[in-house]
Structure 1
Amino acid sequence: MAGAGRGCQKIRGSQIRDVLDTKHSVLFDCDGVIWNGEKAVAGATEVVSLLKKQGKNVFFVTNNCTRPRENYVQKFSRLGFTDVAQEEIFSSAYCSAVYLRDVAKVQGKVFVIGGHGVYKELREAGVPFVEGEADDPGMTIVDCPLDSDIKAVLVGYDDKLTFLKLAKACCYLQNDDCLFLATDPDPWHPLREGRVTPGSGSLTAALETATGRKATVIGKPSCFMFECIASQFGVDPTNSLMVGDRLETDILFGANCGMDTMLTLTGVSTLEEAQAYKDDQAPEKKIYVPDYVVDTIADFLPVIEDNE
């Protein structure tokens, strides 16, 4: 059973080899695992390339909805990854578009709190949407026009959020038949020099408070992102490994989907936080405990180079 015991075991060398030998697919989070900002994690390009050469399926699952997948391909290339294909990248923006098109089959328009990444993926999926366009500066929710054909509200990261956008979304969500979706639940994102920015989860929480409704989350830790991968590539969770840096999203996502999980310490969560979840007496906290911990995915290198 995937995750049996969830031991928070710090592993290296032959222990990493033993784990990888049982896995056909490896899923990586991006921010904090593959790169930090515009700098690849040391050894990450070699790890991805060698895993692929050894016949592993490699996928990238990110809650960052600010870029369309084609821009992610460009970033991978810019940072030295030479063999990452667009179809291997599953972002919360892309998966939200897939959900609206193939699962919800929304018949009408989507009101979007978000940005370019969400817009581009919805457009490519053929999902009609309203961009939360700029209104006249003096306009308020009392006198602004509302679209009568809005059938869903999708909330993602929006660094140009206005009060009027939130108010419009609240009005649309008064209709119980209007879907309420969030690209991801991330509360904040780290920036340079210790600064942070509110994430999609913060914006979603504002709407949940205002409307008394709960959003359906598309990205991690929801399983829908894995369902997209499984439906396109036939991936089995029992022989898959989820590698991430955030306990409450990446590790919980892997556990929810039945995968073994590995925390890498190059991003948000720490070994001490993982250990605290393990030591907590509350059973519901155990699902945040990773099966394995490595300092960095560069720890894979000696193992997979030996197998060449």
Structure 2
Amino acid sequence: MTTLKMPNSLPKRLDKNCIKQFLNSFDNVLTDCDGVLWVGDSVIGRANEAINQLRALGKKVFYVTNNSSRSRDAYVEKFKRLGFIVKKEEIVSPSYVMAQYLKQQDFNKKVYIIGSSGMTEELEEVGISHTGVAPEPFKGPVTDLPNTIKLDPDVGAVAVGFDTHFSFPKLMRAASHLNDPNCLFIATNTDERFPIGETSLVFPGTGCLVRCVETAARRPPVAMGKPSEKMFSVISDKHHLEPTRTLMIGDKCTTDILFGKNCGLHTLVVLSGVTEMKELEDLASTTDDEKRKLLADYYLPELTDLIPLLSI
């Protein structure tokens, strides 16, 4: 039996022949940060100029990140330091989405947090109390933990974000709270790794911690970050964005581009972060419809390559 080969359908390389059609297709820009705009504390090429020029053309810009470790106030400082025009309300992080989600639920209990101050600051802005953001090292035999760990009866949700102090006691607390079926289980994101510049080391992402808690709790979380549609619903509700007039820019097909596709957005992938051309070629040649869904509409080596096209 002969298997029909799917036609190759790589994302279209943005060039002078399609730039006007591209620009006319959207009014709003959502862009990922790590791997698109910067790596660590260094701007990628002239990404800041590219984004600022899109603003000058009248496009609304929103920065959407899966990083939960910083508050939006802290992000404003970083954006400005790196030369990006920004307003606080244009920054959307999983921590912010989490706070808005709980507020919509009329949540009035405490949140046990595995994470950082970026999460607590967003909760405090909407008046939600929390507990748990502090190192809790494991200092003795496991059999001693029932004598030292006391659960807070006011906790009504467990939220898991990135936490370099993740420990067995924290895992035990989270899973024990989640034994109550009425306790909400929230994940800021489920990213397996994150880019950290030139190194051969693997930097595990929040998804690794989420999986630990999920396994122990024997129940799945509600994810706030990309590719969940919750992130776009928060932006569109507040700023009245039309999906068909919105562009998503990202460097990772399984989060950024899938997020765009899930929400009905136009998509542009840049090869300055996680994704390489080989991955796009593999996705384009597969017969798996779910994998082909990860292909963006357009691609560029990096956002800097957009700059000369904007003046055509």
TM-score, length of structure 1 as denominator length:
0.93
Structure 1 residue 111 displacement after superposition: 0.6
User: How far apart in 2 are the matches of 1:141 and 1:15?
Assistant: 62
Aligned to 1:208: 214
Greater mean deviation of Cα atoms: 288-297 or 193-202: 193-202
SS at match of 1:262: strand
Moved more, 131-140 or 17-26: 131-140
Residue of 228, 238, 241 corresponding to 1:232: 238
1:285 equivalent to 2:298? Answer no
Q: Which residue of 2 is the match for residue 94 of structure 1?
A: 96
Ranges in structure 1 where 5+ consecutive residues have no aligned partner: none
The residue type equivalent to 2:255 in the other structure is T
1:120 aligns with 2:121: yes
> What secondary structure is seen at the aligned counterpart in 2 of 1:288?
coil
**Identity within the alignment, %:** 38
> May I ask how many residue pairs the two structures share in their alignment?
300
User: Of the candidates 10, 16, 21, which is equivalent to residue 19 of structure 2?
Assistant: 16
- Structure-1 residue corresponding to 2:301: 295
State the distance in 2 between where 1:167 and 1:265 align: 40
Q: Find out whether 1:77 has 2:73 as its counterpart.
A: no
Distance in 2 (alpha carbons) for counterparts of 1:65 and 1:291:
28
- 3-state SS, counterpart of residue 111 of structure 2: strand
Q: Are 1:258 and 2:264 counterparts?
A: yes
Q: TM-score, normalised by structure 2?
A: 0.92
Cα distance in 2 for residues equivalent to 1:168 and 1:189: 26
- Tell me the secondary structure at the aligned position of residue 146 of structure 2: coil
Superposed CA RMSD in Å reads 1.7
What is the distance in 1 between the residues matched to 2:274 and 2:173? 33
* Deviation for aligned residue 1:7: 4.6
C-alpha contact 1:252 1:287 (8 A) present in aligned 2: yes
Contact 1:185 1:217 in 2 (8 A): yes
Does the CA contact (< 8 Å) of 1:8 and 1:290 recur in 2? yes
Q: CA deviation at 1:118?
A: 0.8
C-alpha contact (below 8 Å) 2:117/2:133 kept by paired residues: no
Name the counterpart of 1:151: 156
Please give the per-residue CA displacement for 1:252-282, whole angstroms capped at 9, x wherever unaligned.
0000000011110000111211221222212
Give the secondary structure class of the aligned counterpart of 1:227. helix
Contact 2:227–2:258 (8 Å) recurs in 1: yes
1:154 counterpart letter in structure 2: A
Structure 2: tracts of 5 or more residues without a match: 1-7
Name whichever of 273-282 and 231-240 sits farther off. Answer: 273-282
Is the Cα–Cα contact under 8 Å of residues 112 and 129 in structure 1 kept in the other structure?
yes
- Secondary structure of the 1:153 match is strand
Structure 2 equivalent of residue 183 of structure 1: 188
1:207 counterpart SS class: helix
